[in-house]
Amino acid sequence: MPPARPLSLVTGASAGIGAAFARDLAARGHDLVLTARRVERLEALAQELRDQHKASVTVLPADLADPAAVLQLCEALDARGLRVDWLINNAGYGVPGTFEAVDWPVHEAFIRVLMTAPAELVWRLLPGMRERGYGRIINVASLAGHVPGSVGHTLYAASKAYLIKFSQSLALENRHRGVNVCALCPGFTWSEFHDVTGTRQLMNNLPGFMWQSAEDVVREGHDAVERGDVVHVTGGVNRFIKALMKLLPDRFTLWLSAKESRRYRDLGEAS
């Protein structure tokens, strides 16, 4: 049985899907631990959740690109006696440009934030969930993990495919210990993501029906992990795209991916 007030840790909680998860969980009676780099935004969100939902909210700023960040975060939880019941691995971003046009330290930080840190957080927090017989883990992946890789943002789809496979194995290993694991796979979502990567103007060329709100993504994700869904693609349009990509020949989908990449991505290619 879940505790009366589950404690949820949300990474990348300062904006977008992470902030929407924090608001949704607080409204459902959860207490929260919020982490991201932007302290001011975290503090403002924490106060909002305390005022509106009487939630107990702890702010623990962290840069998950730092190899020591996850251990320090978990030590801070232990020092406060906080036992995490829900883990929302949401922190992420994109790196525009072709692979060789971007310095390796930038790629290295990306891999640490989107792949290494989520895995380490699960590894450190999962034993407590298994011991208590209750836990929920949502790894925020993407529709990009189900479709062919694109030109530019080279590691993005790869990192999301990794999260999907990681979640599947975790779900199989823990389904009989009261721990549900779900890879949440949204498509285009209204957030700051494309502003940060400098592709907002390009993204504005996409038709409106391709987009979802962060709140809709979160509601679907919450329902999916509670149902025990291991992988959940949000939105009917995105589910159709996933199904279509599985039916079409690889050669055609790769051609289509290359064509669309040049329409909607800032490739940042070296001259």
Angle at 49 between CA 113 and CA 11, to 5 degrees: 5
Residue bearing the bigger pLDDT, 104 or 256: 104
Q: Is 93 a catalytic residue?
A: no
Residue 199 has pLDDT above 70, yes or no: no
Residue bearing the bigger pLDDT, 55 or 193: 55
Residue 6 has pLDDT above 90, yes or no: yes
User: CA-to-CA distance for 269 and 102, rounded, in angstroms?
Assistant: 9
Burial of 266 (0-12, 13-18, 19+ CB in 10 A): middle
Residue 211 has pLDDT above 90, yes or no: no
pLDDT tier, 138 (very low <50, low <70, confident <90, very high otherwise):
very high
> Which candidate in 93, 134, 156, 162 is catalytic?
156
Cβ–Cβ contacts within 10 Å for residue 66, how many?
A: 15
Residue indicated by tokens 């929302």 = 88
What confidence tens digit (pLDDT) does each residue in 85-99 have? 999 999 999 999 999
To the nearest whole number, what is the mean pLDDT of the chain? 90
Residue 109 has pLDDT above 90, yes or no: yes
Residue 197 has pLDDT above 60, yes or no: no
Predicted pLDDT of residue 236:
87
DSSP class of residue 99 equals: G
Averaged pLDDT, 132-161: 94
Predicted pLDDT of residue 151:
84
pLDDT tier, 200 (very low <50, low <70, confident <90, very high otherwise):
very low
pTM: 0.88
User: CA-to-CA distance for 7 and 238, rounded, in angstroms?
Assistant: 31
Averaged pLDDT, 238-257: 82
Per cent of the chain over pLDDT 90 is 73
Residue indicated by tokens 């103007």 = 201
Ordered structural domains, the chain, with CATH: 7-264 (3.40.50.720)
Predicted pLDDT of residue 256:
76
Pair 182, 232: CB distance under 8 Å: yes
